[in-house]
Every structure is written in C-alpha cells, then in structure tokens.
Amino acid sequence: MAKVALNSKFEQRSGLRWLWLAVIIFMVDYLSKIIIMGTMTANGSTPIAVLPFMNLYYVHNTGAAFSFLSAEGGWQRWLFTLIAVVVCGFLSYQMRQASITKTAHNIGCALIIGGALGNLFDRINYGFVVDFLDFYYKNHHFAIFNIADVAICCGAMLYILSSVNKSRG
C-alpha cells in the first residue's frame, strides 16, 4: 500500500521538472553558435567538410524555417520573437499540467522550448538566427539549419506522437 501511495505522489509531480533538458539544449545550441561565429565568416567562408554529406557553412537567417520571410524588411524578427514567446509559454503551461511520468510529452515540450529559446536569443541579440549545418546529396543541398532547429523538429515529432498515443488510449 505504501508503494502505491509513493507512485501516486510521484505521478502528481509536474512535468516542469523536465525543463533541465531545455536548458541543456539552449546551452549546446548557444556554444555551437559561438564557436561557429568565432571561427567562420558569415555567407563568405568556404564550407568545412565534416562528413561526405555534411558541411559547416555559417549563414545569417533573418527568416524562419527554410528562410521563410527572410527577404522582408525586418518586421518578421518581432513576429518570430512573439511566436517563440507564446509557444514557450503554452508548452510550459502544458508541462505544468502534465504528470512527470508523461515522458514523451514532456521531453517533446522541453526540446521545443530549448530550441525556441536558442533561436529567440539570436533574434533578440543579433537580429538574425545563426545557421551552420549544411546537409547535402551530390549537388542538392538541404536548407542550412542549427542545433536549435534539430531540437524543435525532434520535439515536435515527440509531441505529436505523444498526442496521437494519448488520443488512442
């Protein structure tokens, strides 16, 4: 009986305890961008081959994913800043409402929050997002992105999968 009570208390803990993961994602993203900005020239340096299908190539992205709205006059910076703040607030609220045992949901939220904060930091401090991961096949290059973007995509997949599994049960 004591074991059941202990499990029930553990399950009542908030999913916010997973926010340590968002902090780690933010720090890894930040440090990677500092290294890139300190060693490469934006939009002008020669790509650094890392793997047969991946280069490091430093670019400034004033838009969103796939440089969406990057050619606009600058207003998009504040739109994407607002979106990041709203999304982080919403996901934090969801984590607070969720049990700590909702692992996939909470990890998904934390990954999205960490990535969103990484890109938000760039937008506020530099006016653009630092991107540097260039994946390609032969002469076909995917959009250049960063570690925050990877975290956001992985987090979104986990979030969706956890939502689909919850609706099935």
Catalytic residue ranges? 131, 149
State how far the alpha carbon of 126 is from the alpha carbons of 94, 121, 129, 130, 138, in Å. 30, 8, 7, 9, 33
The C-alpha torsion from 90 through 95 and 97 to 100, rounded to 10°, is 180
Who's near 62: CB < 8 A, 6+ residues apart?
A: 70, 72, 74, 76, 77, 127, 128, 129
Amino acid at 60: H
Q: Give, as one character, the DSSP assignment of residue 14.
A: B
Secondary-structure breakdown of the chain: helix, strand, coil percentages, each rounded to the nearest 5: 65, 15, 20
